[in-house]
Every structure is written in C-alpha cells, then in structure tokens.
Amino acid sequence: MENRNLPRLDPSYYQGLAIVHWIFTIKNRKTGYLNERFFLQFQGIAVHAFSRYQIVCPCICLMPDHIHILALGTSESGSDQQVAIAFLRRHLRQHLSPFEFQRPAFDHVLRDRERSREEFQKTAAYILENPARAGLVDSATDWPFACAIVPGYPDLDPHAANFWDVFWNIYSRKIETS
C-alpha cells in the first residue's frame, strides 16, 4: 500500500544549493523496465530537467526496481529540485509504461555533516556500489546504468579516477556564475 501523504519538508529545503538523495521506486518493486533504450531516454530527459532547474548530478544509478539520483542545486535563486524531479518523473512516464513509479519519491536532504566533500563522496560511492552489492555485477564499474549528469559535460564518468577533481571544479564554476 502506498502512502501519498508522507510528511515533507518545507519546499525551501529543496531549493538553492540543496543536496538531495532521491530514490524512485518502481511500483510494487516490479522489474523489467530497465534496458539500454530506457537508460538513454532517462539521460536525455534528465539533462533537460537538470539544465532547466540548475541542478547537477554526479551520481545516478538505475537499478532493476528503483533509481538513485544524488543532486546538487547550483543557483541560490534558480535551483528547485522538487520541481525538477516532478518534471523528470512526468516526462519519463510515457517511456516507463507499462511500469509506474511508486508515489511519492523518497528523498533525503543531506544534513550539514553529510555535505562535506568526503561524506558526500562516500554517499555517492555507496549509491554507485549498489549493483555490486546486489550481485548484479562483480564491480560497480561494470554496471551499464550508472552515470553523472552535469549539463554541458556529456563525457563525465563517475567511475573515472579523476572524476571528483573534475566534478568539484565544474560545480565551483557553476555556483560562481549563478
């Protein structure tokens, strides 16, 4: 049974430079939606959503029955993760059919102690390791449904050795220009 009325934080927690871990669960934990075509459609729609609402995602992992997104706002005045996630889910709906997302999406707004680079990167590593922990692949780097989405940087690979240096450099530039 789904609860459509889970308590939510005030919308301001999802705006500006908020950092949020989102999880979209497939209704009834059904599997079978995840394939290369859906992954490419997801990436295309996500680029639009995150570009429109000034968000970057260094860590996204699509699993057989759920999706993880670790998102950071890049603009004090223009970033709105709740609106971006609603946009993303709405536009994915047609590509997900006959599957559906469970409502509502789960979210965890990172607290101050979780926002340090070290702790943040640990959260990202935990998300990216999901497929290996689930026994779907031997190594997280073998999972074909994980990526980073930073509009303007299509070649970023969250598994690359220099990823975090590159990501933090891009992120710093984005928040400086917002």
Q: pLDDT category, 103, cuts 50, 70, 90?
A: confident
CA distance 173 to 41: 28
In this predicted model, what pLDDT tens digit does every residue of 22-44 receive, in sequence order? Answer: 999 999 999 999 999 999 999 99
CA distance 2 to 94: 21
* Chain centre to alpha carbon of residue 158: 12
Angle at 41 between CA 102 and CA 136, to 5 degrees: 65
> Sign of the CA dihedral 5, 14, 48, 69?
negative
Q: What is the mean pLDDT of residues 134-155?
A: 97
**Prediction pTM value:** 0.92
Number of H helices, E strands in the chain: 5, 5
CATH number of 12-177: 3.30.70.1290
